[in-house]
Amino acid sequence: MASPVPPMTDADRARIGAAVHEAEANTAGEIVTILAERSDDYADVALAWSAAVALVALVALALAPGFYLGLYDRITGHWGMVWSPGRILGLAALVAALKFGGTWLILLWRPLRLGLTPRAIRHRRVHARALAAFRIGAEAVWLADQTDRADAIRVPTLVVCGTEDRVTPPALSTSLIRMIPGAHYEPIEGAGHLGNLERPEAFNTIVGAFIRGVDSHS
């Protein structure tokens, strides 16, 4: 059973807010914040480092065999051992296995594993995870079709849409007002998906006029 995700702290919220603010300063698009417990375990990075350390150990053994074979003799007390090719190969395999296993065990500590992961790799993994999470959420929203319930709405309804909205194009809004009895449609000229933020004055004027109209008939 997975452990529960700890709640965000004020410092976490501040970091997220700063990241969103920085992103907004460099794009005219919509910023979608994706929060996940982690982007990746980076287990492959730990394996890569373990293999690299084992390879370095083998290269060192190949470059200075006399030193390492003598060290082995001193440790084991096997003075004067005749090192046949088979024994040398066995020692090399043992050294590689110990170096690989030891490095892998050390890198089970996630902070160290993250610290040894190149920044470019972390960015790519985070980006891929964010896209996957956004796609899941977007598909869930898009597939949650509630149009069969639209004709049950019995309150004054205003549908507002930016004329340049590519996420939910105006055609969807005009179709929606035909499903809702008495619904009223107002486009926001030149606005995209977030018309209330892109053209707040126009949005407020449209909504204000609609509310006044409803009040005058109540």
Q: Report the CATH number that the domain containing residue 158 is assigned in CATH.
A: 3.40.50.11320
Judgement on whether residues 62 and 129 belong to the same structural domain of the protein = yes
pTM above 0.85, yes or no: no
What residues contact residue 129 under an 8 Å CB cut-off, 6+ apart?
Answer: 34, 36, 39, 40
88 — pLDDT class (breaks 50, 70, 90): confident
Judgement on whether residues 44 and 135 belong to the same structural domain of the protein = yes
Judgement on whether residues 107 and 195 belong to the same structural domain of the protein = no
Judgement on whether residues 172 and 83 belong to the same structural domain of the protein = no
126 — pLDDT class (breaks 50, 70, 90): confident
Choose the final residue of a domain: 94, 114, 144.
Answer: 144
Could you tell me if residue 125 is inside a domain? Answer: yes
Choose the final residue of a domain: 110, 144, 178.
Answer: 144
Domain that holds residue 122: 40-144
